[in-house]
Amino acid sequence: MGYCDGKWTPVIIMVMINSALGLANALVKKVLDGGVNHMVIATYRLAISTLFLAPIAFFWERKTRPTLTLNILVQLFFSALVGASLTQYFFLLGLSYTSATLACAFISMTPAITFVMALIFRVEKLNMKSKAGMGMVMGALICIGGALLLTMYKGVPLTKLRKLETHQLINNNHAMKPENWIIGCVLLFAGSSCFGSWMLIQAKVNEKYPCQYSSTVVLSFFGTIQCALLSLIKSRDITAWILTDKLDIVTIVYAVSVFSITEKVGSICLIL
Distance CA 187, CA 166 (A): 26
Residues 47-100 pLDDT 10s: 988 998 899 888 888 888 888 899 999 999 999 999 889 998 998 898 888 887
168: confidence class by pLDDT, cuts 50, 70, 90: very low
- Assess if residue 4 is contained within a domain: no
Chain centre to alpha carbon of residue 176: 23
- Assess if residue 222 is contained within a domain: yes
- Assess if residue 18 is contained within a domain: no
25, 105 Cβ separation under 8 angstroms: no
HEC per residue, 138-189:
HHHHHHHHHHHHHHHCCCCCCCCCHHHHHHHHHHCHHHHCHHHHHHHHHHHH
Percentages of the chain per state (helix, strand, coil), in multiples of 5: 80, 0, 20
- Assess if residue 119 is contained within a domain: yes
User: Which structural domain, as residue segments, surrounds residue 81?
Assistant: 30-271
161: confidence class by pLDDT, cuts 50, 70, 90: very low
- Assess if residue 87 is contained within a domain: yes
Instruction: Give the orientation angle of helix 2-33 with respect to helix 100-108, to 10 degrees.
Output: 140
Residues 11-40 pLDDT 10s: 677 778 777 777 887 888 888 888 888 888
Residues 43-62 pLDDT 10s: 988 898 899 889 988 888 88
Residues 203-243 pLDDT 10s: 888 888 888 888 889 999 999 999 999 888 777 778 778 87
- Assess if residue 3 is contained within a domain: no
- Assess if residue 11 is contained within a domain: no
- Stated pTM of the model: 0.77
Q: What is the largest CA-CA distance in the chain?
A: 63
pLDDT at 165 > cutoff 50: no
Q: Which positions ≥6 away from 52 have C-beta within 8 Å?
A: 256, 260
Closest CA to 182 of 151, 155, 157: 151
- Assess if residue 5 is contained within a domain: no
DSSP 200-243: HHHHHHHHH---HHHHHHHHHHHHHHHHHHHGGGT---GGGG--
What is the domain count for the chain?
1
Q: Give φ, ψ of 194 to 5 degrees.
A: -65, -40
227, 90 Cβ separation under 8 angstroms: no
The dihedral built from the CA positions of residue 254, 257, 259 and 262, taken in this order, carries a sign that is negative
C-alpha distances in Å from residue 45, one per residue of 19, 82, 117, 194, 221: 19, 16, 27, 18, 11
Distance CA 149, CA 101 (A): 13
